[in-house]
Amino acid sequence: MIHAVATRPFADQKPGTSGLRKKVKIFQQPHYAENFIQSVFDVVPEKEGATLVIGGDGRFLNREVIGKAIRMAAAAGFGRVIVGQGGILSTPAASNLIRERGAIGGLVLSASHNPGGPDEDFGIKYNVGNGGPAPEKVTAAIYARTTEIDHFAIFEAPDVDIDTLGETQLADTIVEVVDPVASYAALMERLFDFGAIRSSGLSVAFDAMSAVTGPYATEILERRLGFAPGRVRNGTPLEDFGGHHPDPNLVHARALYDLMMSPGAPDFGAASDGDGDRNLIIGRGIFITPSDSLAMLAANAHLAPGYAEGLKGIARSMPTSAAADRVAAALGIPCYETPTGWKFFGNLLDAGRVTICGEESAGTGSDHVREKDGLWAVLLWLNILAATGKSVKQIATEHWARFGRNYYARHDYEGVESNAADALMGGLRDRLAQLPGQAFGTLTVEAADDFAYEDPTDGSISSQQGVRVLFQGGSRVVFRLSGTGTSGATLRVYLERYEPAGGRLDADTTEMLAEIAAAADQIAQIRKLTGRTAPDVVT
C-alpha cells in the first residue's frame, strides 16, 4: 500500500560539494531523510520502470535510511532497485553498477571521510545515469524541491531483507540484492595486469580504516592477488569506523605512515576513506602527495593494460598542484582545470576529452567509472611497480628529475565561525585587484583572481570557486571554503611551490613552503580574522 505522508520543508537541505551532509542527529529528525530522498525522486525524469542503485559505506544510519529509500523507490514507481548486500556499496562500486546495469541513477549514502556514529556525520548523494555525482543544475533542482515539498510517498511494508542475495517484489518494483564486490572486482581485473602484480614479489600494507573498502580490498588484494592474509588491516566495516576518522591522510592514517617509515616497511602502503573513493599512497620511506600521485600515475598509466593506448587528456581540480600539467604537456595531451568536486570531471570523461582525473584531496580516478576510486589508484600503482620493477621512491625521484617538483601542502582551519570565514573570503575578494605587484618577502604576486570555470562541453559557468594568488616563478596559494563540512566553516589554504628539474628536489616540504605560508597569512589575515595561530590539519 502506497502512503502519501504530509510533510514540511526543512530549511537546510542544500547539497554541498558531494550531496547533503549533516550530523546524524539532524538526519534523525522525523521526515528529514524522506524529504530529501523524495526531492531527489521528484526531479528524476522518467523513473517509471527505471533502475535505481542504492548503497552506502555502512556507517550508522545506513541500514535504516536504505530501508526507507527502498520503500520510497517502490512508491515512486522505479522498476528495479539494486542494493548492495548489507547495504554496502563503495562510491566507485556504486558508480560502476549504475553504468553496468544501465540504471537511471543511484543513491549513495555516505559522509565519506567524516567520522560516523550517533553523534557524527551522515550523508546522501544522488548520482546520475553516467554514474557520476549529479551536476549543479540537478542539485539545484533537488534543493529547490526541498524548499517546497509538502508530502512524500512510501510503500507501507516491513523493510526488505538486504542481507540475502536475490530478488524480492515490492509493489511493482523488483528489489535485487547483489554482491557489492563482484562486478567491481571484475572491472579491476580487466584494467590491470593481475598476473604481473601477483608474481611481482611486492609486499603491501592496506588500511581500510574500518570502512567500506574492507571487503573490496580483502577480495582483490588477498584473494585475487594473493597478498598474505592480514595485509588488509581494519578490513571489517564498522558503523563508527572504530571511533576514528576514516580519512586517509598523514594525521588519521598515522599508524600506516609510521609503519612505512620504519626499517621493516613493506614496499607499498595505502589506505582509503569511509566510502572508498580516496587513496593515500606511501612507498617505503616516502609519502607521495595526491597531486604528485596523479602526475606519476598519468606519466606511467600506459604500463597497465586498461590504458595501454595512452591517455586522451588529464583533468585536475583547481587547487591540485600543476604537476599533472607538466605531464600532459610532455605527452602532448590537454590538461583541464576544474572546480573542486568530482562532478566537474563527469562531462569531460563523457565527452572522451580526458582519461585520468585527480584532486589534491586524495582523489584519483579514470574513465572506468565517474567517481574517484581509491582501490583503482592502489592497483594502478601496483601495476606500475610490477611492470617497471622500480620502487615508489625511484618512480618519484625520477619523475621529479624529469619534470621538476611541486612542493605542496594543504592547511585546514576547521570549525571556524561562519561569519569570520565569510569575512575573510569577502575581504580577499575585495582586495584581489590590488594584489598584483605586491611583495611578500621574496615573493611577488603576479596575478590574483576568483576562479570561475566554463564547462567546455556544455558552456555552463561556475563562479566563485576559490581565490588564487599566483606568485612569479610558479608558486601559488589558493583559498576556499569547504563544501563538505558539517559544523561551522572550514577554511582550506593550498600552498604550492614549483622547483624546476635541477633545483632542490629533495628538500623538506614545510621548509620549502614556509615563506608562502607566511604570505598566505598576510594576504588573507587568517590569524587576525579567525583567531587561529595554526591550522588544525596539515596534509
Q: Rg of the chain over CA atoms, in angstroms?
A: 23
Q: How far, in Å, CA of 404 to CA of 420, rounded?
A: 38
At its nearest, how many Å lie between ligand VG1 and the CB of residue 363?
6
Q: Is the CA virtual torsion 124, 130, 132, 134 positive or negative?
A: negative
Cβ atoms of residues 20 and 201 within 8 Å: no
For 163, the enclosing helix (H) or strand (E) is none
Which residue in 34, 267, 277, 412 binds Co ion (CB under 5 A)? 277
User: 271 with 377: CB under 8 angstroms?
Assistant: no
Least distance (Å) between residue 442 CB and ligand VG1: 29
Q: Judged by CB under 5 A, does residue 121 bind Co ion?
A: no
Looking at residue 142, its amino acid is I
Q: Which three cell numbers stand for residue 443?
A: 615573493
CA separation, residue 416 to residues 245, 259, 516, 533 (Å): 19, 33, 22, 12
CB distance 132 to 343 below 8 Å: yes
371 interacts with, out of ligand VG1, Co ion, none, CB within 5 to 8 A per kind: none
Other CB atoms within 10 Å distance of the CB of residue 254: 10
Number of residues that make up the chain: 539
Q: How far is the CB of 109 from ligand VG1 (least distance, A)?
A: 12
- Using CB under 6 A, list all residues that contact ligand VG1: 17-18, 112-113, 273, 277-278, 317, 340-342, 359, 361, 363, 482-484, 492
Contact 398, 497 (CB under 8 A): no
Q: Which cell goes with 533?
A: 595561530
Closest-approach residue to Co ion (CB): 112
Nearer to Co ion, 247 or 292 (CB): 247
**Rounded least distance, CB 246 to Co ion, Å:** 8
Pick between residue 210 and residue 361 the one whose CB is nearest to ligand VG1: 361
The region that residue 102 occupies, defined by phi over 0 for left and psi between -120 and 50 for alpha, beta otherwise, is left
With CB atoms as reference, the residue minimizing the distance to ligand VG1 is: 112
The listed partner (Co ion, ligand VG1, none) that binds 361, CB under 5 to 8 Å by sort, is: ligand VG1
Looking at 140-148, 182-190, 238-246, 269-277, which segment touches Co ion (CB under 5 A)? 269-277
Those residues whose C-beta lies under 8 Å from the C-beta of residue 116, and which sit 6 or more positions away, are: 24, 57, 59, 60, 122, 239, 240, 241, 246, 274
Residue 17's binding partner among ligand VG1, Co ion, none (Cβ under 5 to 8 angstroms by kind) is: ligand VG1
Residue number with CB closer to Co ion (300 or 490): 490
- Report the residue from 121, 273, 360, 496 that binds Co ion according to the rule CB under 5 A: 273
Annotated active-site residue in 39, 90, 110, 112: 112
**H or E, element range at 25:** helix 24-27
Residue 18 is a catalytic residue = no
Q: Which is nearer to ligand VG1, 179 or 414 (CB)?
A: 414
**Size, binding site for Co ion by CB under 5 A:** 5
Report, in Å, the least distance between residue 326 CB and ligand VG1: 21
Q: Nearest distance from residue 340's CB to ligand VG1, in Å?
A: 5
Which C-beta is closer to Co ion: that of 277 or that of 496?
277
Binding part of the chain for Co ion, among 109-117, 297-305, 394-402, 479-487 by CB under 5 A, reads: 109-117
Binding site for Co ion (CB under 5 A): 112, 273, 275, 277-278
Which residues are tagged catalytic?
112
